[in-house]
Structure 1
Amino acid sequence: MNQPIRYINGTDISLPQWKECLRLGGRGTLYAEPAFMKAMAGGWAAFVLGNYEAVLPVFPRKKWGIQYLYQPAFIQQSAIHASGILSPQVVTALLTKVQATFKFGEIYLSPAEGICATASKKNFLLSLQPSYSVLEASYKPDLLKNRKIASRQAFRYQNGAVDRVLGHFQQTYQNRLNYTAQDYQALGRYCQQVKEKDRVIVREVWLGEMLEAACLCIADQERIYLLLNYTAADARKRAANHYLLDQLIREYAGSGKLLDLEGSDHPGIAHFYQNFGAVNEPYYFLGWNRLPWPLRLLKPGY
């Protein structure tokens, strides 16, 4: 392969060529959308093959005078997007260039032949191409039992408010997730930016005056990404989240999109998503540490 690979700051990227490469790649593009990357990470950059035949967005930071790569909040995984066939040779060349440019990195990558991963992670997808009746026919017995529990409740499924869902999610999960208050604020600002484009999907389940469950999704041309999913503690026994996801699937069945459930490796969450017929599309963690001694000792060895 004799095409050059350039490292380009996000502010210097040719946006028309970037968007065309993503369009021809034919995969979900939220995580590589310049406005979303800027909102969630501030600064971003990319490794670009030739004349934008392939691109890999990355997120640099600097500490102790050394630049390294990290994965920002709400950008679950990055991907190598290619305008044509993505060969293992291109994948290897890009990742070799990445690791030669940065001495330390912890990044997550979408599936691509040629990735030598440190570890794999689970991500569950559900095709919304079929009708609801077809999707419903794939529901597992455990889900059907919980749906029967939910049917005994006077649940209301309705449009929701971004700020309310963000607030409940942050308050409930702040001690379990490594997200900062600034991360939630950044996501809220981005949602306001794209709200008028009908890309933000916020749905809530109410029982009387109580918010039982809620979700915040962002859509692109290919996928609906479930970024936040909140359930009130005592609403679990009423299967409120089963009801929420079932209603979301009913609403968007036949849309042709993929519902990207964003995980999870947690056995209980994985089981919950699989009950709806979702299938695992693994993504990969890639870590490396070539820092000089003694800084190398302060980070994982990989």
Structure 2
Amino acid sequence: MIRYLKNNEIDLKKYDACIQTALNSRIYAFSWYLNCVADNWDVLVLNDYEAVMPLPWRQKYFIKYIYPPAWTQQLGVFSKAEVHETLIAEFVNSIPKKFKKITIQFNSQNNVSFIKTEKRINYVLDLNKPYETLLKSFRKDRKYRLNQIKNKNFIVKNTTIDELILLGKLHYSYLKIEDKSYQNLKSLSELILTKGTGFLLGVYDVNNEFLGGSMFLKDHKRLTYLYSVATEMGKQNHVISLVLSHVLKEFSLSNYVLDFEGSMIKGIASFYKSFGAIPETYLQFNRFRL
């Protein structure tokens, strides 16, 4: 039986255990993560937390709606057993009628062909190989860019979320990221550093000038490239390529998958593919209820 539970009714220990052991686990679905990035969230639960479907939601003009919070890409149904399409259909049909608009980005292992969805593309790279083998899969232009900056004496080291966010506001205002989303990102960064579930890397020149950097999430299966920024000088010197190369070296010969978190934008997708990443499809579901 599938039950709808409001947030204060959730057994968080059982819920997080389900996410932790799920075959299709995603860090975005943990309770601590959703507490940080979602305005509100409830959950649909199968029996005694055999499978769960988190429901992040907002309210506007007395209308409640399910939405994908900033800093989450894939949610949907999670279970330690294989999730069949019939079960996903039961979950979708169990979403309470009070939610008049629904937008769900299902994880890549949720098959939802029974409803109309929009196909979205993500890129992933398996890191269970030596760095030298991973490097062979880089596109020629990516290898060339990395060779170009070898003699620049740039340093890759831990950075702060304040530097990353300040740079984002200065150079990426066209993305129209809300202040609240930046506040959530800052809170999230503090949380992942405390929990050991992520890290922040920056690139600095010989004068310790910050040129750019990235924030990564880390769970037991997946590294997620969540947020990245660079100055104009950093872009010219391809410092984000240096960050990603550094991470690939650090986590090569591991059981991790690097999740690039996108993209549907042609230029960004090309950048991810240049590291040897392969496409992974996930589906977005939209529904309006009268």
Task: Provide the TM-score with structure 2 as the length reference.
Answer: 0.92
Cα distance in 1, alignment partners of residues 153 and 186 from structure 2:
30
**Is the 8 Å Cα contact of residues 16 and 31 (structure 2) preserved in structure 1?**
no
Give the match for residue 196 of structure 2.
198
Q: CA deviation at 1:36?
A: 0.9
Any unmatched runs of 5+ in structure 2? none
**Secondary structure in structure 2 of the residue aligned to 1:282:** strand
Q: 2:10 aligns with which of 10, 13, 23?
A: 13
Give the match for residue 188 of structure 1.
186
Q: CA deviation at 1:117?
A: 4.2
Give the match for residue 298 of structure 1.
none
Cα distance in 1, alignment partners of residues 11 and 119 from structure 2:
32
Letter in 2 for 1:36: Y
Give the match for residue 169 of structure 1.
168
Letter in 1 for 2:193: K
Q: 2:66 aligns with which of 62, 65, 69?
A: 69
Matches within 5 A, 1:111-260: 111=108, 112-115=110-113, 116-177=115-176, 179-209=177-207, 210-260=209-259
Task: Provide the TM-score with structure 1 as the length reference.
Answer: 0.89
**Is the 8 Å Cα contact of residues 5 and 47 (structure 1) preserved in structure 2?**
yes
Cα distance in 2, alignment partners of residues 66 and 137 from structure 1:
52
Cα distance in 2, alignment partners of residues 254 and 166 from structure 1:
32
Q: 1:26 aligns with which of 19, 23, 26?
A: 23
Q: CA deviation at 1:83?
A: 2.8
Of 68-77 and 152-161, deviating more is 152-161
Of 4-13 and 100-109, deviating more is 100-109
Cα distance in 1, alignment partners of residues 172 and 116 from structure 2:
29
Cα distance in 1, alignment partners of residues 54 and 247 from structure 2:
31
How many matched pairs?
287
Cα distance in 1, alignment partners of residues 74 and 24 from structure 2:
13
Letter in 2 for 1:10: N
Q: CA deviation at 1:127?
A: 1.3
Give the match for residue 289 of structure 2.
290
**Secondary structure in structure 1 of the residue aligned to 2:263:** coil
Cα distance in 1, alignment partners of residues 255 and 80 from structure 2:
22
Distance 1:28 1:174, change over 3 A: farther
**Is the 8 Å Cα contact of residues 78 and 110 (structure 1) preserved in structure 2?**
yes
Q: CA deviation at 1:101?
A: 5.0
Cα distance in 1, alignment partners of residues 217 and 81 from structure 2:
26
Cα distance in 2, alignment partners of residues 117 and 250 from structure 1:
40
**Secondary structure in structure 1 of the residue aligned to 2:228:** strand
Of 194-203 and 267-276, deviating more is 194-203
**Is the 8 Å Cα contact of residues 169 and 228 (structure 1) preserved in structure 2?**
no
> 1:127-176 deviations in whole A, cap 9, x for unaligned?
12212112112111121121122224221111111221122123322321
**Is the 8 Å Cα contact of residues 166 and 184 (structure 1) preserved in structure 2?**
yes
Give the match for residue 267 of structure 1.
266
Q: CA deviation at 1:196?
A: 3.0
Distance 1:271 1:96, change over 3 A: same
**Secondary structure in structure 1 of the residue aligned to 2:261:** coil
Any unmatched runs of 5+ in structure 1? 292-302
> 1:37-72 deviations in whole A, cap 9, x for unaligned?
011114211111222221111112222222111111
Give the match for residue 56 of structure 2.
59
Cα distance in 2, alignment partners of residues 262 and 72 from structure 1:
14
Q: Percent identity?
A: 24
**Is the 8 Å Cα contact of residues 140 and 276 (structure 1) preserved in structure 2?**
yes
Letter in 1 for 2:23: G
Letter in 2 for 1:114: V
